[in-house]
Amino acid sequence: MDLSSLLDLCRLHSTPGDEDEVASFLLRCWRQHGLTPEVYGRYAVAARIPGASSAPTVLICAHMDSPGYVVQRVLRDRRRAVAVALGGPTWDDDEQPTQAAIVKTASGCGPCVLSQSLLERQAVEVTAEIDIARGDRICFPPQAQVRGSQVQASFLDNRIGCFLLTHLAGAMPNPAVNVVLAATASEEFGGFGAAVLASRVQADLVICLDATYADKKQGVRLGGGPVLTLSDASVLIGRPVWNVLERLSQAWELPLQTEIYNSSGTDARAFPAQGSLAPVLPLLVASEGNHSPQETAAISDLEALAAWLTRLCKDSAATAELIAAGVFGEA
């Protein structure tokens, strides 16, 4: 699997509400593959890969933003400020009291240093090398590299999902179903993008791509394959749907891990909230260091998830079985 697009995506600055760089990257990639993108304001972008006219529609989506900070208050010298978090960025401030970062201003980007505020909770103090203003966005330095069987980078949550959207654009020239590739804004803070996407695209099956936590207690590990969320604050997968996925995993000889939480979540919540009847499947990639300056994921998990998605979209019977399992009395 060529990871060059993933590394390129991980070098972009994209915090909640300021996803322009990633959106432009995806639109350009989709056009290069001969697709005609659709833009839904500043909330979502999409591209359709047509299958048979009577076939169901499978929506595969990922969010474009990663956690960061927004400048709330600028001090008198204009190079020091207080910023608040957007989406829960984190670093180990016990071992590392300060953290290098990048601030994006109206005149360009520049380096800055973050330290936990001693005066305000859930805030950081910012010292920059350029003038900054209220509303400027801050993210961790865009570091990305492949190390053996793993990829390490800031923002793997969720440049992994966006990378798969670029990969799939060239991997499914003749799907058995109608495929919509889509990317949303503000998943990490607000969830507005997925709500707009859900209202604009009428899908029969929805797959949300994202990163999740490697978790020893649940046996979720790097290299164990994609992770299906059976339960969290955004989704509850019924046993009939899970039965189908278990059978497909065995038949296709593709790995599938599962996780259960009663908190956290993905864009999955938006679709039933907007009245969609489509089953929603969060298919995720396990990572270590989630939301930190250095996240780590296994390349084999990306390859396995790509295989799952391409196989599903080329198998109309499997897709129909999953859709039926999402309806009471139909499985």
CA angle, residues 272, 278, 282, in degrees to nearest 5 = 80
**Residue 21, token pair as written in the block:** 């760089």
pTM for this one? 0.96
Residue with tokens 């999953």: 322
What pLDDT score was predicted for residue 323?
Answer: 98
Burial class (CB in 10 A: 0-12, 13-18, 19+), 46: buried
The Cβ of residue 329 has, within 10 Å, a number of other Cβ atoms equal to: 6
Low-confidence ranges of the chain (pLDDT < 70): 119, 331
What pLDDT score was predicted for residue 331?
Answer: 62
For residues 215 and 166, what is the distance between their CA atoms, to the nearest angstrom?
Answer: 28
Residue with tokens 């058995």: 176
Q: Which residues does residue 213 pair with via DSSP β-bridges, in sequence order?
A: 287
What pLDDT score was predicted for residue 94?
Answer: 78
What pLDDT score was predicted for residue 112?
Answer: 98
Contacts of residue 100, defined as CB under 8 A and 6 or more positions apart, other chains included, come to 111, 112, 113, 114, 140, 141, 293
- 325 touches 244 (CB < 8 A): yes
For residues 308 and 306, what is the distance between their CA atoms, to the nearest angstrom?
Answer: 5
Domains and CATH numbers, the chain: 4-66+144-325 (3.40.630.10), 68-139 (2.40.30)
